[in-house]
Structure 1
Amino acid sequence: MFFYDLQARGRATSTCRSYGMDLLRWFRFLWAIEVPWQRATRNEARDFCRWMLIAGKPTRSHWRQPDRPGGGTSTGEAYAPSVRAHCETVLRTFYDFHLEAGTGPIINPFPLDRQRRGGRAHAHHNPMDSYRNERAGLYRPRVPTRVPRSVPDAEFNEIFAKLSSNRDRALVAFYVSTGARASELLSVTQGGVDPGRQLITVIRKGSRELQELPASSDAFVWLRLYQAEMDGLIPTGRRQPLWWTLRRPVRPLTYHAVHRMFERAGQAAGSAATLHALRHTAAYRMAEDPDLPLTDVQLVLGHALLTTTQIYLTPGKEEVIRRVLAHHAEQVRQAAERKIPPPAPGYRPETLDVLFGRQAP
């Protein structure tokens, strides 16, 4: 019933899958301690949140190597705060739904924070300020605010040189020039490519609307080379997917395959950059262009709020380090070139040197 409700409200398939994975993690925990989900209390919810923080993520066997051991051991790496926060929100929503339907426990095991349950949200809100999310869960962890990480040009060139096919080069070139999300670029169809206008049409992740995005000319060159290689090997048609696997039999390219492709190229180049970092790189490049208004960057990136786009005005870590080191080097150079003025009449120079520590007595 819960997933029927999500589907009826127009939630994307990826959203339903994400909710399902969080619920599966919770149900496996309850099965291990032999507690029915209808009888779960706040104690089980607390222990589940502690387990995600302490136990670590489990290992899973690869689908190509099903006999490889995995699935029962822990990697020792704790779940990220964003994952734990998302899981807590999903479970609280799940039990709220069953509370209204009368099919779950009487009390939600994942309640809101005690400090907010007794009062009204935004009770003392300043009309001049934006609204904050004051409906935080009791077991919701604090998610640190991270500055988006872009890929430096030298590092990007090394990764690009390690790509093994024209399809991969075309994908990376489109990612870094359009700023599209990974799933959005994979939604492009063969009829959604307009080389004459240098535009591609993607399906936005949240709104599911069609939007044209401008791309660089290099990306279309790599795309044409990829299309020439796959001519006669993939289905053709305006509604057919643009990106296909290189391995036979050909299948539409998936997010996990693209993510693994870029991960292999990054490992070969000695880089820890992720696929989503290409979107941040494109955003930083566009935001640093003085001739490109920030509202245009917002439209290209598909942000609902301009404040989300403004985070790309924050200088990157590498750029800050470079400028600060240059500042220190300039201070050293100026100190070396600084001339000592001659002493005033009546003062002995050697006495002033001893007084100001320029020479030992």
Structure 2
Amino acid sequence: MIDDEVASRDLAVLAVPLVGSLEETGDRWLPFRLVDPAGEPVEAVSSYFRDLQAAGRSETTLRSYGMDLLRWFRFLWSVDVPWKQATRVEARDFCRWMLVAGKPSRPHWRHPDGAGSSPFVGRAYAPSVRAHCETVLRGFYGFHLDAGSGPLVNPFPLDRSRRGGRAHAHHNPMERHRNERTGLYRPVVPTRIPRSVPDEEFNEIFARLPSHRDRALVSFYVSTGARASELLSVTQAGVDPGRRLITVVRKGSRAEQELPASTDAFVWLRLYQAEIDESVPRERRQPLWWTMRRPFRPLTYHAVHRMFERAADAAGSMATLHALRHTAAYRMAEDPELPLTDVQFVLGHALLTTTQIYLTPRKEDVIRRVLAHHADQTRRAAQRASAPPAPGYRAETLAVLFGGAAR
């Protein structure tokens, strides 16, 4: 039986304060911890993080999972329900709240009074964000269910129609396999075409980059297809201009991999290295990318993201830093001399089906070809209309029948 008071919870008037936080500890054994409104760490989340670390998950994964858990715990704190007593009702209301209430207003450090609020406030969370959050919370409660430290029933169950029976029992062999272990409240994530940057737009952004360091970074991004964090992992010993290779640390496996890059990227890199201050450490194991201002520090993802964002804004573009990876992938996939398996290796995809999405035509290319098709059709129609009449027909008679001046 569901309590009538709980079942009739009015989410329209529910306020979810931005209390608690996910803190970076600096401790290698527990890089992040979730703290409650009183500033006390939530041990249930810490133990889950330790389990994830034992499974080989990276620190970025722990942070990503922690943000989803923080969102869930804030909801539970607002409805005054302990995490151990959460039921399917709370899970259902939480998923509805993410869908309807949308993103909360967060004060920006430059505008504490809220004058610079984000235009995305109140907009529903993206299906990919809601799906990721549902998966994380189902895993969190599954961990505590196995350990006997949580509720007896997972608040985020699997879909009723997919809990039993043989996997893929009714699968159409002409269609791709789908995940049989889909959560009950997991939204359908639409398939999106990767957003790449057209050549003209890329040239406009590149022309507005302020330094040789930024030009080298962007050149490596668009020629290697490396993720933002992967390119920042390059050390000074990981650059081989003679072979035109750089060595990055892969995001998921943490394995080192050599990636080929364009000649232009190494030219910009050499110009950047020539202007580096002498106080910047020059050792083989030191990072390759550094800040331009004192005190010199290794370049971070957020700094590079903001750098590219400023250049894109100056060029009037909505392109993102991650779009450079898609741009590199499209450029390589369009080369008939480059096998798709080579593109898969360079991008670090585990499955070839993931790389195949870059065979999907880009929107701007489709529009250009269709417009050219329409222009060609118009040109052909004009040629047919201007063709002289066939022998044996009188021009003045055709002019009376079809209109127009006699030919």
TM-score between both structures, scaled by the size of structure 2:
0.82
SS in structure 2 of the partner of residue 251 of structure 1? coil
Query: Which residue among 305, 326, 341 is the counterpart of 1:280?
Result: 326
Match of 2:270 in 1: 224
Identity among equivalent pairs (%)? 75
Could you list the per-position Cα deviations for residues 213-233 of structure 1 after superposition, in whole angstroms to 9, with x for gaps in the alignment?
Answer: 111111111111211221413
Work out whether 1:8 is the aligned partner of 2:54.
Answer: yes
Match of 1:251 in 2: 297
Q: Alpha-carbon deviation of 1:185?
A: 0.3
Distance in 2 between residues matched to 1:320 and 1:59, nearest whole Å: 38
Could you list the per-position Cα deviations for residues 86-143 of structure 1 after superposition, in whole angstroms to 9, with x for gaps in the alignment?
Answer: 0000000111111111111111111111211243332234678653212111111111
Distance in 2 between residues matched to 1:343 and 1:71, nearest whole Å: 75
CA contact (8 A) 1:60 1:70 kept: no
Distance in 2 between residues matched to 1:207 and 1:45, nearest whole Å: 32
Work out whether 1:33 is the aligned partner of 2:79.
Answer: yes
Work out whether 1:117 is the aligned partner of 2:163.
Answer: yes
Work out whether 1:240 is the aligned partner of 2:286.
Answer: yes
Distance change in 2, residues 1:352/1:99 (3 Å): farther
* Deviates further, 228-237 or 104-113: 228-237
Distance change in 2, residues 1:237/1:300 (3 Å): same
Q: How does 1:100-179 map to 2 (within 5 A)?
A: 100-125=146-171, 130-179=176-225
CA contact (8 A) 1:58 1:72 kept: no
Distance in 1 between residues matched to 2:139 and 2:100, nearest whole Å: 24
Query: Which residue among 186, 190, 196 is the counterpart of 2:242?
Result: 196
Q: Alpha-carbon deviation of 1:348?
A: 11
Match of 1:215 in 2: 261
Query: Which residue among 338, 341, 356 is the counterpart of 1:310?
Result: 356
Distance change in 2, residues 1:340/1:111 (3 Å): farther
CA contact (8 A) 2:108 2:117 kept: no
Match of 1:293 in 2: 339
CA contact (8 A) 1:185 1:202 kept: yes
SS in structure 1 of the partner of residue 62 of structure 2? helix
Distance change in 2, residues 1:351/1:205 (3 Å): same
RMSD: 2.4
SS in structure 1 of the partner of residue 197 of structure 2? coil
Could you list the per-position Cα deviations for residues 9-56 of structure 1 after superposition, in whole angstroms to 9, with x for gaps in the alignment?
Answer: 101111111111100110011001111011111111111111111222
Distance in 2 between residues matched to 1:89 and 1:124, nearest whole Å: 24
Q: Alpha-carbon deviation of 1:72?
A: 11
Distance change in 2, residues 1:225/1:61 (3 Å): farther
Residue 219 of structure 1 aligns to which amino acid in structure 2?
A
Residue 179 of structure 1 aligns to which amino acid in structure 2?
G
Q: Alpha-carbon deviation of 1:69?
A: 3.9
CA contact (8 A) 1:59 1:70 kept: no
Residue 277 of structure 1 aligns to which amino acid in structure 2?
A
Match of 1:23 in 2: 69
Q: Alpha-carbon deviation of 1:344?
A: 7.5
Query: Which residue among 313, 335, 342 is the counterpart of 2:381?
Result: 335
Residue 106 of structure 2 aligns to which amino acid in structure 1?
R
Q: Flag the structure with more relative contact order, 1 or 2, with Cα contacts below 8 A and sequence separation at least 6.
A: 1
Could you list the per-position Cα deviations for residues 224-269 of structure 1 after superposition, in whole angstroms to 9, with x for gaps in the alignment?
Answer: 1211221413112111111111222121111111111111111111
Match of 2:135 in 1: 89
CA contact (8 A) 2:108 2:116 kept: no
CA contact (8 A) 1:58 1:71 kept: no
Alignment length, in residue pairs?
Answer: 355
CA contact (8 A) 1:189 1:238 kept: yes
Residue 333 of structure 1 aligns to which amino acid in structure 2?
R
Residue ranges of structure 1 left out of the alignment (5+ in a row) = none
SS in structure 1 of the partner of residue 349 of structure 2? coil
Work out whether 1:42 is the aligned partner of 2:72.
Answer: no
Distance in 1 between residues matched to 2:173 and 2:197, nearest whole Å: 39
Distance in 2 between residues matched to 1:69 and 1:336, nearest whole Å: 59
Distance in 2 between residues matched to 1:72 and 1:139, nearest whole Å: 30
Distance change in 2, residues 1:130/1:327 (3 Å): closer
Distance change in 2, residues 1:197/1:231 (3 Å): farther
